[in-house]
Amino acid sequence: MPDPDFKIIALDGGAASGKSSTSRGVAKRLNYLYVNSGAHYRTMTYFMLEAGINHRSDEEIQAALDKLTLSTQVEGNSSIMHINGEACAGEIITSPEINANVSLFAAKRPIRSFLLEFQRAQVEVAREHNFKGIIMEGRDIGTVIFPDANFKFFLSASAGVREERREREGQTDLVVQRDTLDAKRTTAPFVPADHSIRINTDTLDLQEVIDLVTGIILTGRVPGTITTQPFSKDDTPSASES
Ligand code: CDP
């Protein structure tokens, strides 16, 4: 019998807003499956670049996609996407080259529709492995992948704080530029989902954010200091965070 308490959590946010560490921490705490959809786009970008595909050509992209098979490996609480049986993780997909190209490939409709079914099917993977829920992080999880999620969170942080975090991780990454490209694209633009629970992480440490998100999921109560207003046009991540 399917678990009636099984929950779907969408957690979106800009580059270095803290969404990966938060989602991983929440998944561990609540025994949920953790899915990093950004890693899917990064892995896809790695394969496209390796195959010499031009991001401007939908035909080239489609021909490359036709040769790909996606599968999932569950490692602890994490779901790892494999392409043609191969995982691709760590520094390979956070290199300056991938950081500079991922938003270009992520804007392409054939790539987004190819990943959409795979990402939605992660709910079944979570259920099959008896997790109590799933938390997926990304840029369009609350708007496109799981518009009916039990909870939708949106993390933000100011540009300075985000750039500093990347530098501390030893990464070359133009975070604001990448978010602007993601917000301006026509397919699944990066915008907060309506009525998402907005958390600014500038002055909160990781543990505080994990406690906050976990508390909201478990009690269904959102503290008064947190906003959940509908999305307005002046509210794009690049406008509000730079
Ligand atoms: O962790 P960080 O915010 O730096 O990026 P990420 O989550 O690894 O995502 C890398 C890139 O993938 C983003 O800049 C987007 O271009 C793309 N992406 C997307 O378009 N949709 C998602 N759901 C997740 C990522």
What pLDDT band is residue 236 in, cutting at 50, 70 and 90?
A: low
Q: pLDDT higher for 50 or 167?
A: 50
Cα 211 to Cα 36: distance, rounded to the nearest angstrom: 20
- Quick one: pLDDT at residue 215? 96
Cα 220 to Cα 231: distance, rounded to the nearest angstrom: 21
Cα–Cα separations (whole angstroms), residue 84 to 62, 101, 228: 16, 21, 40
Q: Which CATH number, 3.30.930.10, 3.40.50.300, 3.65.10.10, 3.50.50.60, labels domain 7-229?
A: 3.40.50.300
Q: What is the end-to-end Cα distance of the chain in Å, rounded?
A: 48
Computed over every residue of the chain, the mean pLDDT equals 90
In the predicted structure, residue 239 carries a pLDDT above the cut 50: no
Say how many C-beta atoms besides its own lie within 10 A of residue 116's C-beta.
Answer: 14
In the predicted structure, residue 9 carries a pLDDT above the cut 50: yes
Ligand 1 nearest atom to the CA of residue 140, by list position = 23
**Which region, left, alpha or beta, applies to residue 76 given φ > 0 means left and ψ of -120 to 50 means alpha?**
left
pLDDT digits (tens, 9 = 90+) for 191-216: 899 889 999 888 889 999 999 999 99
Among the ranges given (67-71, 93-97, 211-215), the one the predictor scored with the smallest mean pLDDT: 93-97
In the predicted structure, residue 8 carries a pLDDT above the cut 90: yes
DSSP letter at 141 equals I
Crossing angle (nearest 10°) for helices 109-120 and 58-65: 30
In the predicted structure, residue 240 carries a pLDDT above the cut 70: no
Cα 236 to Cα 232: distance, rounded to the nearest angstrom: 8
Report which protein residue has its CA nearest ligand 1's atom 6.
38
Cα 159 to Cα 174: distance, rounded to the nearest angstrom: 10
102 lines ligand 1 (CB under 6 A): yes
178 lines ligand 1 (CB under 6 A): yes
Mutate to test the pocket of ligand 1, among 41, 114, 117, 169 (most ligand atoms within 8 A of CB): 41
- Quick one: pLDDT at residue 109? 94
Instruction: Enumerate the domain spans of the chain.
Output: 7-229
20 lines ligand 1 (CB under 6 A): yes
Cα 40 to Cα 115: distance, rounded to the nearest angstrom: 8
Q: pLDDT higher for 108 or 161?
A: 108
CB of 197 within 8 A of CB of 151?
yes
Cα 12 to Cα 197: distance, rounded to the nearest angstrom: 10
In the predicted structure, residue 241 carries a pLDDT above the cut 90: no
Q: pLDDT higher for 102 or 182?
A: 102
Cα 157 to Cα 211: distance, rounded to the nearest angstrom: 18
